[in-house]
Amino acid sequence: MSEILERVAGGVGQGVAKRENPEKVNGRALYIADLYRPGMLHGAILASPHAHARIRGYDVSAALAAPGVVAVLTGDDVGDGRMGAFIKDEHALAKGKTLYVGEPVAAVAAETEEQARAACRLIRVDYEELPAVLSPEEGLAPDAPILHEGLAGYFKVFDAGSEGNIASRSIFSEGDVDSAWAECDLIVEDEFTTQPQAHLAIEPCGALAEMDAAGRVTLWSANQSVFRVQANVCESLSLPMSRLRCLTPHVGGGFGNKMEPHIQPITVALAMKAGRPVKLILSREEDFEMVRARHPFRIRMRTGVKKDGTFVARECEALVDCGAFADDSPGVLGYALLMARGPYRFPHAKSHGRLIYTNKLRFGAYRGFGNPQVTFAGEQQIDEIARRLEIDPIALRRRNMVGAGEPWFLGQTIASNGLPECLDAVEAASGWKDGPKAAAAPGKRRGRGLAVTAHISGLLGTGAIVRMLEDGSIVLNTGATDIGQGSDTILSQMCAEALKVPLDRVSVASPDTDGSPYNWGTTASRVTYTTGRAVVAAAGEVERKIKEQASEMLECAVEDLELRPGGRVGVAGADKELPFAAISARAHWAVGGPIVGTNTLVFEQATHDPKRGVALGLPFPRIGVYSFGAMVVDVEVDEASGQVKVVEAWSAVDAGRAINPLLVEVQLEGAFVQGMGFALVEEMVWDGPRLANPSLMDYKIPTSRDVPAALHSIIVEAPEPGGPFGAKGVGEIGINPVAAAIANAVFEATGARQRHLPMTPERVLDGLLAHDAEDRS
Amino acid sequence: MSRLLHRPGSVDEALALLAERPEARLLAGGATLVAMRNAGLVDASAYVALDGIAELRGIEQLPDGGLRIGAMTRHRETATCGLLRDSLEVVRRAASMIANPVVRNMGTMGGSVANADPGADYPAALVCVDVELELAGTEGRRRVPAAAFVQDWYETALEPGEILTAIFLPPPRTGRSTYRKLARVSGDYAIASCAMALTGGQGDEEIAVAIGGCGPGPLRDVGAEAALRGRLDDPGALAALGEALVALADPIDDVRASADYRLRVIPRLVRATLDDLRSERRAA
Amino acid sequence: MSDHVETFEIAVNGQRRRAAVEADATLLTWLRDGLQATGTKRGCNQGVCGSCTVMIDGWPQRACLSLAAACEGREVRTVEGYGDDAVMRTLQRRFAEGGAVQCGFCTSGMLISARRLLADSPRPDEAEVRAALSGNLCRCTGYKKIVDAVLLAAEELAP
């Protein structure tokens, strides 16, 4: 990486404010619910009251006659198209069958939202109830009712091994785990369970669709990818993609809930039927019941080591509840299994699992994507081993962690690895060996826990278009949806740095499937690295064209030219220079054509090296580029109630290169609190077939008073050779280790292992009392 | 359907409206009623807003030293009222832990108490300090002791057409009191809560304890309390009080906690709350 | 089949506005759909998330739990209505520059609660700030930079 002699205003490494913040703090940023179109109608959805039922027919006459109603939609109105990220198993609206309580069955467009909702209640659906499958175990039973009778005929993007109620299965291994146990001096084996968690982005899902006179539809929606919206809507409604243009307003958070479709296909279908624009915004309760949530996992894990602490073998078996539709689930299973070995050297490792359809809402992408669940299991086992061998937990990890140049599970070479520095950082910052700073107050117990993690940054396709406007300003278009995490700003910072222009001379186009290059989506912590690479490459092409122009205008060789901060190009070592405006004017009006740089790529590093291991049912053949993290937490357990409070936490992350350190910190802090909710408080609870707590009265997330006052974010930089300025992703790494670190701390405080999430006061009190009883006896 | 919002200026006017339109809903702070309306659980044809009735507002000291809290007093006002001291401090503390500051600007004591949510914060505190609730009807006004107000899950002594108008507190007794709440996150309804007051001199201390969140209404056993008089530092005696309260408990399993956990935690909560009061006394 | 419509005046952001709404329409619906003042958000419609928090007669309240008709004669202020109020401007700037704004959906409500806090307590400590904001949920930031922004704004306004 070359020296930058003069700082670029707002360039890489600076904690600049996000560019859209002035709009947001003045209440002027427009989100989907804030958009209005002339003649607009409001949509509402009728949700299925049954977990599993055939739909025999509909009577919509009363609904059609209700005040203000313009159109009513049922499964009969949508074609047979099926969508799905990995297995195309889902219609736009339930057709022929309903598979979960809350599934959209019909929809209404009316003049007001209240009228639309009232009319929905007048739709009569003739159901024939079927027995429901309410757990993966039930789904696997030999006589289980089958949810997807047409499963064999669904299109699958990978070798999923689908059959019966098994949506997919994956098996990955290296070495020979079955024989390796015999070599181990110590083996720990446990079963862990984790619970469904709701995303709870403060903005509920919504969409607004409008068809023009030529039959072309414009669709705005709360989304994490305008391109996934386009594909899903067109596949489910059997429309050619050229007939749908997808746009994005500001998005009020996603965390995975808005990556795959929610109600966009329904909204488009309603708008097409009504012949008028339709806006449909879900209530909070509908957002809970209708969309998606984090997968509950049942994990059986086994870790074996030598008595000197050298790791020998790890086996992870996962049974994952898919919910009614596959959505991103096969990816979550596969990714969890890929991460289950952890950032360690294990000569023998095997992870395998099955994903089972059940009659509950679909489980899908949620920050961490299976990693928080397997980390909860794996990092507790490492701690347990450390305890039994009487080796310090940090020392044990250091001895066995995988380093730069070594392979990740299944064989991809890790090019950059800041995990040692992350461990050093949290060890030093927390005063690890000294334990929690303050002694426990009367009636409380304190404990300290550690966990480490890794996460990917590179996945699937992306692109960038960098254009120079007539006056030398720059427009960047990547198609990446900024969901609030700041990708617009970060990518502009990269572009500004690459061209050495001040940040305020770079504007960013809003994602538009008509004008933007394809971007798979804002997910998987991938935008900084994957899209960043395209931005830097596209800017590189612009630089080349600037220099070609300049070499003619300044009559010198291209190699003699350098870009200078402020948007200038000049002859190195001389005063001769030109502003970009002059270059651009010549390009526009005289010679060469307007300057545009483009780049598209699909992440190319293979996940699996067949010489290293076996992979069956690998949903992502090319995924990788690893960020790393280490975390220490101090907890306080109330002896009377078992309630756990996090008192202080240190989260160190290897970001490769922090393009915007302020935004990296916010990712770590936000991820920590969301992880704390996962660890201690949040749980979607089913009462038979229906969700018992689909409301904010009953499903609680941490408030400002529930988070540790002292939350320390530490940025480590181990530059990734192929990364844009060395950067890697940081969106998810901060959530993965939270539950494990807290569980390890609770163990130290109470002497009891928590193998089930969330760690409610009841579970912790049970553990504490049982351990105290053992101690006494 | 024609929906109407009435804003009477007096209790009598409000009572007359209720008599005329029995299906009308009383609107206090709106925290519960409007939330239910938004969720489609209530579709009222008429609302009778109580915020225009002067006599329902405010906290005043009475000639005998007791307090009268108007039913429309917002939690914020109760939470910052200096008159709620010593044995009455528990009421102030309970108010300060309801929900969050924004909801405390809206919610009212009368609205909360009349709703009788088992996880709410006032009931245990009001039972602990032996308040009387004034109910107004077209026939006149009557008072009901706090302990008798909640009759079943979400059911109170309020008859159809009656309005809760005021809460009467006895004069504060010298001592300390507190409210300890076990909840999943700040501002949630209580899994279980303990309202406790200690009064009387050294060696002759009296305790009053009420438990919330473990049945339709708060739990209190004055007999067990009397047996503890002067013996508060006897762990066996305290345990007996805990057991007495457990015996009265009728908790449910809900998304916040299991019934079993609530039963187990009651005696622990009592002990921990007493410890809290002891620490406060030492620190003072 | 007509619903009775209440007509009345409410002062919104310093201007008297005439409302014609059903008796049980919420203030939130009227602000957003009636006045197109969309800075106030609907996150849950149950009064829990806080994204609908507005100032009514100087006190932060939930617009989703307030009947518009019951606000007759009151003064409502939304995040769009602070003009050149120095305290609000400072809070907004500190939020925008300090990493306290991610998706921004909670921001309007946070600013209203913070505005009231600084009126009551010009130099609050961290615990007071956390308590004042405990009725505004944020899922993106983890609250730390929001709390920091309020403390910095307070320090700037009352050094």
What distance in Å separates residue B183's CA from the closest CA in chain A?
9
Helices and strands: H and E segment counts in chain A: 18, 29
Helix axes A738-750, A371-389, angle to 10 degrees: 30
B223: which residues sit within 8 A by CB, 6+ positions away?
B244
Confidence (pLDDT) at A350: 98
Residue A4: pLDDT over 60: no
Confidence (pLDDT) at A684: 98
Chain A residue numbers with beta carbons less than 8 Å from the beta carbon of C92 are 25-26
The residues in C 57-76 lying below 8 A from A, measured between CB atoms, are none
Q: Name the DSSP class of A31.
A: B
Chain B residue numbers with beta carbons less than 8 Å from the beta carbon of A641 are 182, 265, 268-269, 272
Test C134 with A17 for CB contact under 8 angstroms: no
Model confidence pLDDT, tens digit, residues A534-570: 999 999 999 999 999 999 999 999 999 999 999 999 9
Chain C residue numbers with beta carbons less than 8 Å from the beta carbon of A25 are 79, 92-93, 95-96, 101, 104, 107, 111
Rounded to the nearest integer, the mean pLDDT of chain B is: 96
Model confidence pLDDT, tens digit, residues A287-304: 999 999 999 999 999 999
Residue B83 lies in a domain: no
Test A681 with B184 for CB contact under 8 angstroms: yes
Residue B84 lies in a domain: no
Model confidence pLDDT, tens digit, residues B67-79: 999 999 999 999 9
- Average of per-residue pLDDT across C20-46: 95
What percent of chain A lies above the pLDDT cut of 90? 97
What distance in Å separates residue B3's CA from the closest CA in chain C?
6
Quickly list DSSP for B134-202.
EEEETTEEEEEEHHHHEEETTEESPPTT-EEEEEEEPPPPSEEEEEEEE-SSTTSPPSEEEEEEEES-T
Nearest CA in chain A to C135: A703
The 10 Å Cβ neighbour count of residue B152 is: 10
Chain A residue numbers with beta carbons less than 8 Å from the beta carbon of C129 are 704
Residue B202: pLDDT over 90: no
Model confidence pLDDT, tens digit, residues B207-226: 999 999 999 999 999 999 99
A148: which residues sit within 8 A by CB, 6+ positions away?
A89, A154, A165, A357
Q: In angstroms, rounded to a whole number, what is the distance separating the alpha carbons of residues A189 and A595? A: 61
Residue B1: pLDDT over 80: no
Could you give the residue ranges of the DSSP H alpha helices within A657-737? 661-680
- Average of per-residue pLDDT across A434-441: 86
Expressed as residue numbers, the domain containing B247 is 175-283
Q: In angstroms, rounded to a whole number, what is the distance separating the alpha carbons of residues A450 and B209? A: 41
Chain C residue numbers with beta carbons less than 8 Å from the beta carbon of A33 are 32, 38, 41-42
The tokens describing C143, both together, are 């609250």
Instruction: Give the ipTM.
Output: 0.98
Residue B221 lies in a domain: yes
Rounded to the nearest integer, the mean pLDDT of chain A is: 97
Q: In angstroms, rounded to a whole number, what is the distance separating the alpha carbons of residues A686 and C92? A: 41
The tokens describing A336, both together, are 């969890």
A614 near B CB under 8 A: no
A390: which residues sit within 8 A by CB, 6+ positions away?
none
Residue B179 lies in a domain: yes
Partner residue facing B271 (CB), from A640, A681, A706: A640
Test C26 with B38 for CB contact under 8 angstroms: yes
The pTM of the full predicted model, rounded to 2 decimals, is 0.98
Helices and strands: H and E segment counts in chain C: 5, 5
Test B261 with A285 for CB contact under 8 angstroms: no
Test B182 with A698 for CB contact under 8 angstroms: no
Q: How many domains does chain B have?
A: 1
Residue B235 lies in a domain: yes
CATH of residue B203's domain is 3.30.390.50
Residue B79 lies in a domain: no
Confidence (pLDDT) at A2: 44
A768, containing H or E segment: helix A761-776
Residue B144 lies in a domain: no
Residue A441: pLDDT over 50: yes
Model confidence pLDDT, tens digit, residues A473-528: 999 999 999 999 999 999 999 999 999 999 999 999 999 999 999 999 999 999 99
Model confidence pLDDT, tens digit, residues A97-113: 999 999 999 999 999 99
Size of interface A-B (CB pairs under 8 A): 58
A285 near B CB under 8 A: yes
Angle in degrees, CA A459, A462, A465, rounded to 5 = 155
Residue A410: pLDDT over 80: yes
Confidence (pLDDT) at A762: 98
- Average of per-residue pLDDT across B55-62: 97
Confidence (pLDDT) at C3: 62
The residues in A 106-125 lying below 8 A from B, measured between CB atoms, are 117
Model confidence pLDDT, tens digit, residues A505-516: 999 999 999 999
pLDDT band for position C2 (50/70/90)? very low
Q: In angstroms, rounded to a whole number, what is the distance separating the alpha carbons of residues A599 and B214? A: 63
The tokens describing A701, both together, are 């997330």
The answer to whether A690 touches A134, Cβ cutoff 8 Å, is: no
Q: In angstroms, rounded to a whole number, what is the distance separating the alpha carbons of residues A92 and A649? A: 44
Model confidence pLDDT, tens digit, residues A152-197: 999 999 999 999 999 999 999 999 999 999 999 999 999 999 999 9
The 10 Å Cβ neighbour count of residue B206 is: 18
Confidence (pLDDT) at C6: 81
Residue B201: pLDDT over 90: no
Could you give the residue ranges of the DSSP H alpha helices within A610-689? 661-680
pLDDT band for position A6 (50/70/90)? low
Confidence (pLDDT) at A512: 98
Q: In angstroms, rounded to a whole number, what is the distance separating the alpha carbons of residues C116 and C135? A: 13
Q: Which of A730, A737, A726 is nearest to A715 (CA)?
A: A730
AA letter at A731: G
Residue B215 lies in a domain: yes
Confidence (pLDDT) at A709: 82
Contacts 24+ apart (CB under 8 A), A93-98: A93/A265, A93/A266, A93/A269, A94/A48, A94/A55, A95/A55, A96/A54, A96/A55, A97/A52, A97/A53, A97/A54, A97/A55, A98/A48, A98/A50, A98/A52, A98/A53, A98/A55, A98/A127
Partner residue facing B47 (CB), from C23, C113, C132: C23
B235: which residues sit within 8 A by CB, 6+ positions away?
none
The tokens describing B225, both together, are 């309390």
